[in-house]
Amino acid sequence: MANDPEEKQPPASPKEEPSAVKPPAAASEPASKPPTAPAAAAAKPPAVAAPPRPPAPPKEGPVPLDNDLVKRYKERFGDAIREAWIDRKQAILVVARERLMEIATYSRDDEKFDWLSDLTAVDWPKREQRFDIVLNMYSLERNERLRLKVYASADQRVPSVQGVWATANWEEREVYDMFGVVFEGHPDLKRILLPDEWQGHPLRKDYDILTQDTAWVRENLGIESGQ
Amino acid sequence: MQTLINFVISIWVQLVCALVIVAVLPLVAGYIVLMERKVMADMQARLGPMRVGPHGLLQPIADAVKLLLKEDIIPDEADKGIFWIAPLISVTAGMLAMSALAIGPWFQIADLNVGLLFVVGIGALGIFGIVLGGWSSNSHYSLLGALRSAAQLVSYETAAGLAIVGALLLAGTLSTREIIETQEDYGVWFVFAAPVGFFIYVVASIAETNRAPFDLPEAESELVAGYMTEYSGFRWALYFLAEYTNMVVVASIATTLFLGGWLRPFAGTTAFNFLDGFPSLLMLVVAGYCFYRAPKQPVKIQKMFLVVVAGLFILVAAIFAAPLMAPAGSLVASAKPGLHGAFWFLLKVGLYLYLFMWLRFTFPRYRFDQLMRLGWQFLIPLSIVNVMGIGLALVLHRQLGWSHWTAFPLTTILTLVVAGMLASAGAKKDKEHAVVGEEA
Amino acid sequence: MAEQRIPFATHAETTVLGADEIVLNMGPQHPSTHGVLRVKLRLDGEKVIGSECVIGYLHRGVEKIAEHRTYTQFAPYVDRMDYVAAVSNGLGYCEAVEKLLGAEAPLRARVIRTILTELQRIASHLFWLGTHALDIGALTPLFYCLREREEILKIFEKYCGARLTTHAFRIGGLQYEAYDEFEKDVERFCKPFDTRVNEYESLLTSNRIWVGRTKGIGILTAKEAIDYAASGPVIRASGVKWDIRKAMPYAAYDLYKFEIPTGKNGDTYDRYIVRMEEMRQSRLICLQAIENIPTGPIMGKVGKVLKPPPGEVYHAIEAPKGELGYYIVSDGTTQPYRVRIRPPSLINLEAFDKMIRGHLVADVVAIIGTLDIVLGEVDR
């Protein structure tokens, strides 16, 4: 679809097969962190007569990071900062779950990340600590973004940061609703998007909508679902 | 038996008038609703009802039929007796109030010598219908709406009453017929002598009839429909009818008191007798417009419709012109006061209603506490000052012999100054209470 | 797993008509809650002393669906979230995936994207103005605003065939070239638009009743706004001069000059003024952009099959409602591993409880209106 012939293609259309992925160095948006874009594998030289071949995957992705910001965090919290890397020009810190409140408070007050963009979770079921709790923070003063990550397993509780940023209240409820992560210290942790009596947590990778459907049909209609 | 027949014969005019009101007023109210929808559409850059009948002219009939055929739903826990009777009280009050009003010199059911008091008093009985309707519906929304409505009506009734008192000082009588005759004698409508009173009455009458910008009790977006929420079908139509009847009553009172009733502008001055031709002229202009638009219609039947309408208007113009053309003293000529009087009265009522509609579609709604503050802290003091001002003017004019060209304008200016002071005091208070409506 | 359930009101409180406090339930079917939003209000007479928003009536599981679609297949789904401003949603998503891929749309595509997004911002604000004024009781501005919005929707229809859920952009650029009279149409819309906005302002801005209904209502101080992560006109009206189009420019916004309107008090009136001014500024951006749309390709060099390298990205744009963020995690396959959409309406709605306390019931609709929420985005 992306490569359908256009009606008004300007005359100087690129000759090479449009299947190479450009290296990220040319991206125009201002980097929030000093760009340490890894060198991408060069696109395969265009074979003039050969049909387009899929490019080799360039070595993009997370790269370890150690700049001033990370140094400050490590100085202050030492081991609690487990990992730090940069991915697509965005800095990510993986921190210890137990000290999340401290780190959050420090981020808000000292590093001036006073605006919490987003609090969400990602499920990696094959990992021992399956949930990634992700906090995207933004500093209005410095115009910078920073991402904090916390790993938690299904039965571990994560400290609630709604005392630090009031907006986290509903976002944590949604994470609880969709993933089943319990936030400790949350004043009113109940489901937000789904009805209160819903069973299961939909955004987990092992939640299959068909299971829900067959269970409902079995319960309410007394037959086996045909799906 | 014979006395009964004699009695009926002696009041046959009043009986006919009463019959006209009971039978025709609902139809007229329906067409006022259609007029409102057309005016609303015009102000909103669209057309309004166009489908039912040519240009939507049969819309009220379709609505009435639909409402009659609707299922009669009564909430389970509603108080059925009161639920049934509440709309009737509203409608009865409204129609009864029409009985003392003089729509033309010949059209009046009861020429009471306390006519105006009767009208205002009976009109106020309509509040019972609203409160009982809200109470009997057994729902939070309805009750809130009904109580708000009642509070609003009572507050603005006071201001309206005082404005009326101001005009009554000038008239010296409560009988509706005599008020108009007094205006004829003076040669000036009372609106010019007491313009502030007229303004107060306009604002108060909008609030009286629950019209925007004072229609919070009926606001769709807030309480669904307030006291009318649980009413459907014909019961709701009765409430609606009551509201529009009230509008007509209130417009009639204003016309009677302030706008000279059935008097032509400059009724006393013979130099302006050419204005007698205005009714016919207006009809001819409308007919001319219909003729002008007829060829532009796409379909033949629409063309024919407009031509027929134009013809009807010409007929009406001829009817208006006939008393003027006929020799003086003949039967036809003696129809002039009745016919032309009715025309002028209805024209003024129509303009007053158009003003209501214009205001409804221009202004947002007042919140309830702001509404009450406006009524109690601005209008009532202003109307008291107005009464005092008119009294002062009358004293200056009658006792001290000042010319009415100096006395009345002077007191009007003084009243306006006080109004300005009240308004600015209110604005200052608004700023203080800007954050929260503390006096909920 | 302990569930702390604190019921808002007992059954008795909701049904028995007490004398002290009533619990009033607005919605989910209500003429003014802008969708299926349920608001439970605890009232003391007419004053609101507590509230709770119940959402989720329009939850469609968009984030779960994303995990089972390819990147291109998911693009039409994002239009359906904020269905009033579909083009912005599409822009955010396409740019986020482009960041993930490391690709970039060519300049011509970015400029046309900017024009369409700004037109969409005007359309969204017009719709907001019409419905907000209608809730407060002004019946006429709605029709005037819709009349203007109709022109914009006609442009969208000519461009991509759809008025509302446009799917106007593709990952890597645009599919459709700007049609022949695109510049002329946009200019024909933008030129008289300033007078139109003046028309709306003449009906409302200095109208005493309007000012009385909106000034001092729903105040959100700057500190509260930051704490509640309000964004868009809500936070700008509270005095924080922040707009992602200026702070972290995307598309072609760094090429154009425009102002960022801010308010002072953070009340409903200020939000109204900010959005009116934003409409004017959007018009200026469009006029600047159509003067000089660069020629060139409209599609960047992305493959037919999109397989971004593993990793994640968070990309935010300034949608008409606020900061619309996309957090996309890729595991190297053709389907995203996780798509998280940060809905500005939901985050702004969280501040509702703070804004409504102490006000009267009649202000509830004013405040819901001023937050400019779209339930499709709140619930996804």
Interval A93-139: pLDDT, tens = 888 888 889 899 988 888 888 899 999 999 998 888 889 899 999 99
C69-78: pLDDT as tens digits? 999 999 999 9
Verify that C77 and C152 share a domain, yes or no: yes
**Cis bond upstream, residue C28 (ω within 30):** yes
- pLDDT grade for C301, boundaries at 50, 70 and 90: confident
C-chain residues within 8 Å CB-CB of B370?
209, 212-213
Judged by CB atoms closer than 8 Å, whether chains meet at C342 and A117 is answered as yes
Q: What confidence score (pLDDT) does residue C33 get?
A: 65
Residues C147 and C46 grouped into a single domain: no
C126 and C32 in a common domain: no
Distance CA C212, CA A89 (A): 48
pLDDT in tens, A74-91: 888 888 888 888 888 888
A67–chain C nearest CA distance, Å: 19
Q: How far is CA A112 from CA A127, C2, C110, C247, in A?
A: 33, 34, 32, 16
**Residue B188 sits in the same domain as residue B214:** yes
Same domain, B95 and B191: yes
| C184 and C113 within one domain | yes
Three-class secondary structure assignment of C202-216 = HHHCCCHHHHHHHCC
- For chain A, list the domains and their CATH numbers: 67-208 (3.30.460.80)
User: Exposure string (b/e) for C81-101, b if CB count within 10 Å is 16 or more?
Assistant: bbebbbbbbbbbbbbbbbbbb
Q: Do C137 and B45 touch (CB under 8 A)?
A: no
Q: How far is C220 from chain B (nearest CA, A)?
A: 11
Q: Which of A59, A117, A161, A206 to mutate to test the interface with C (most CBs of C within 10 A)?
A: A117
> Subunits that touch chain C (at least 3 Cβ pairs < 8 angstroms)?
A, B
In a domain? residue B151: yes
Final residue belonging to a domain, choices B25, B50, B69: B69
Contact flag C140-B361 (C-beta cutoff 8 Å): yes
- Distance, in Å, from the CA atom of B46 to the CA atom of B49, rounded to the nearest integer, reads 10
A110 phi and psi angles, rounded to 5 deg: -90, -45
| Nearest residue to C175 via CA among C94, C74, C256 | C94
Residue C6 lies in a domain: no
Residues B177 and B304 placed together within one structural domain of the fold: no
Answer whether C294 touches A (CB < 8 Å).
no
In a domain, B160, yes or no: yes
DSSP-derived secondary structure letter, C69: S
Sign of CA dihedral B343, B346, B349, B354: negative
Q: Which of residues 151-210 of C touch A (CB under 8 A)?
A: 170-173, 175, 177
Contacts of A61 in chain C (CB under 8 A): 309-311
User: Where residue C334 sits, what CATH number does that domain have?
Assistant: 1.10.645.10
User: Which uninterrupted H or E stretch holds C339?
Assistant: strand C338-342
Q: What is residue C122's predicted lDDT score, i.e. its pLDDT?
A: 94
In B, which residues are within 8 Å of C147 by CB distance?
Answer: 45
- For residue B437, is it within any domain? no
pLDDT higher at B367 or C277: C277
Residues of chain B below pLDDT 70: 141, 219-225, 430-440
* Residues C20 and C143 placed together within one structural domain of the fold: no
User: Residue C1 falls within a domain, yes or no?
Assistant: no
Number of domains in chain C: 2
Strand, coil or helix: A114: coil
**Phi (first) and psi of residue B290, to 5 degrees:** -65, -45
More confident residue, B187 or C161: C161
Q: B76 and B196, same structural domain?
A: yes
Using a threshold of 3 CB pairs under 8 A, tell whether chains B and A touch.
no
Share of chain C above pLDDT 90, in %: 47
Answer yes or no: do B149 and B282 share one domain. Answer: no
The encoded tokens of residue A25 equal 């160095």
**DSSP code of C169?**
E
Distance from CA of A34 to the nearest CA of C (A): 15
Query: Which residue segment(s) compose the domain that C349 sits in?
Result: 62-379
Q: C28 and C169 in one domain?
A: no
Tell me what pLDDT residue A1 has: 39
> How much of chain A, in percent, has pLDDT values that exceed 70?
73
C153 — pLDDT class (breaks 50, 70, 90): very high
pLDDT greater than 80 at residue C46: no
Position C5 pLDDT exceeds 80: no
Cβ contact, residue pair A54, C305, below 8 Å: yes
Range of the domain at B61: 1-69
CB-based contact B126:B346 (threshold 8 Å) = no
How many Cα atoms occupy the beta-carbon half-sphere of C238 within 13 Å? 24
Determine whether the interchain pair C136/B434 forms a contact, defined as Cβ–Cβ distance below 8 Å.
no
Which candidate from C30, C31, C219 shows the least CB-CB separation from B435? C219
Of B140, B224, B362, the CB nearest to C140: B362
pLDDT in the model for residue B219: 66
Q: Are C177 and A6 in contact (CB under 8 A)?
A: yes
Task: List the end-to-end C-alpha distance of chain A, in Å, as a whole number.
Answer: 32
Contact A198, A190 (CB under 8 A): no
| Confidence label for C361 from pLDDT (cuts 50, 70 and 90) | confident
Domain membership flag for residue B173: yes
CB C320 within 8 A of CB C232: yes
Residues in chain A: 227
**By C-alpha distance, which of C6, C221, C58 is closest to A169?**
C6
Residues B29 and B137 both lie in one domain: no
pTM check: above 0.90: no
Residue pair C341/C324 in contact by the 8 Å Cβ criterion = yes
From chain C, pick out residues whose CB is under 8 angstroms from the CB of B364. Answer: 133, 136-138, 204, 207, 209-210, 213
Q: Give yes or no for a contact between B240 and B171, defined as CB atoms under 8 angstroms apart.
A: no
The answer to whether residues B82 and B114 belong to one domain is yes
- The confidence band for A227, taking pLDDT boundaries of 50, 70 and 90, is low
- Residue A113 burial (CB count, 10 A): 26
CB atoms within 10 A of CB B162: 22
Q: Which residue has the higher pLDDT, B74 or C260?
A: C260
Residue C173 pLDDT greater than 70, yes or no: yes
The answer to whether residues B175 and B252 belong to one domain is yes
Tell me if C328 sits within 8 A of C344, measured CB to CB.
Answer: no
Same domain, C35 and C89: no
Q: Is residue C70 part of a domain?
A: yes
Judge contact between A152 and A126, C-beta under 8 A.
no
- Asked if C52 and B170 touch (Cβ cutoff 8 Å), the reply is no
Residues B63 and B74 reside in one and the same domain: no
Band of the pLDDT at C365, cuts 50, 70, 90? confident
| Residue of A16, A19, A29 best to disrupt the C interface, most CBs of C under 10 A | A29
DSSP letter at B215?
-
Give the closest of B143, B215, B366 to C209, CB-based.
B366
Same domain for C301 and C341 = yes
In a domain, B251, yes or no: yes
Contact yes or no for A124/A66 (Cβ under 8 A): no
Q: Which one of C60, C228, C380 makes the best mutation probe of the A interface by having the most chain A beta carbons within 10 Å? A: C228
| Per-residue model confidence as pLDDT tens digits over B128-156 | 888 888 888 877 767 777 888 888 888 89
Q: State the sign of the Cα–Cα–Cα–Cα dihedral C140, C142, C145, C148.
A: negative
Q: Does A14 touch chain C (CB under 8 A)?
A: yes
Distance from C100 to chain B by nearest Cα, in Å?
45
Cβ of B361 within 8 Å of Cβ of C133? The answer is no
C-alpha distances out from residue C65 to A203, A207, A208, B57, Å: 10, 12, 11, 52
Answer yes or no: is pLDDT of A66 > 90.
no
Higher-confidence residue: A23 or A76? A76
Q: Are residues C46 and C110 in the same domain?
A: no
Nearest CA in chain C to A138: C229
Taking only the tens place, the pLDDT of each residue in A206-218 is 887 777 778 778 8
Which 3-state string (H, E, C) describes B151-189?
Answer: HHHHHHHHHHHHHHHHHHHHHCCCCHHHHHHHHHHHCCC
Q: What is the pLDDT of residue A188?
A: 85
Cβ-based contacts of A116 with chain C (< 8 Å): 229
Q: How far apart, in whole angstroms, are the C-alpha atoms of residue C75 and residue C69?
A: 9
DSSP B378: I
**Shared domain check, C321 and C244:** yes
* One domain, residues B365 and B249: yes
Rg (CA), chain B: 23
d(CA B113, CA B100): 9
**How close, in Å, is residue B396 to chain C by CA atoms?**
37
What b-and-e string marks burial along B389-407, b requiring 16 or more CB atoms within 10 Å of the CB? bbebbbebbeeeeeebeeb
Nearest to B343 by CA among B308, B316, B310: B316
State how far residue A169 is from chain C, nearest Cα, in angstroms. 8
For residues C41 and C81, membership in a common domain is answered with no
Residue B12 is predicted with a pLDDT of 83
C219 Cβ under 8 Å from any chain B Cβ: yes
Report d(CA C157, CA C87) in Å as an integer: 12
Residue C149 or A30, more confident: C149
pLDDT at position B13 is: 80
User: Do C24 and B140 touch, CB atoms closer than 8 A?
Assistant: yes
Say what angle helices C86-101 and C107-136 make with each other, to 10 degrees.
140
Contact at CB, C207 and B43, closer than 8 angstroms = no
Look at residues B33, B52, B69 and tell me which one is the last residue of a structural domain: B69
**pLDDT, position A54:** 46
Helix ranges restricted to H, B274-367: 278-293, 300-325, 336-362
- Does C95 lie in the same domain as C187? yes
Which chain A residues touch C327 with a CB distance below 8 Å? Answer: 118, 120, 134, 136
Q: Which residue of B has its CA nearest to C267?
A: B435
Of the candidates C32, C139, C365, the beta carbon closest to that of B361 is on C139
- Identify the helix (H) or strand (E) that includes residue A119: strand A115-123
Last residue of a domain, one of B341, B358, B375: B358
Q: Choose the most confident range, by mean pLDDT, from B71-85, C13-27, C84-98.
A: C84-98
Same domain for B302 and B419: no
B203/chain C closest Cα distance in angstroms: 14
How many angstroms separate the CA of residue C323 from the nearest CA in chain B? 28
- Give the number of domains in chain B: 3
In whole angstroms, what is the distance from residue B84 CA to residue B88 CA? 8
Q: Does one domain contain both B131 and B146?
A: yes
Write out the two tokens for A66: 């150690």
Asked if C302 lies within 8 A of A18 by C-beta distance, the reply is: yes
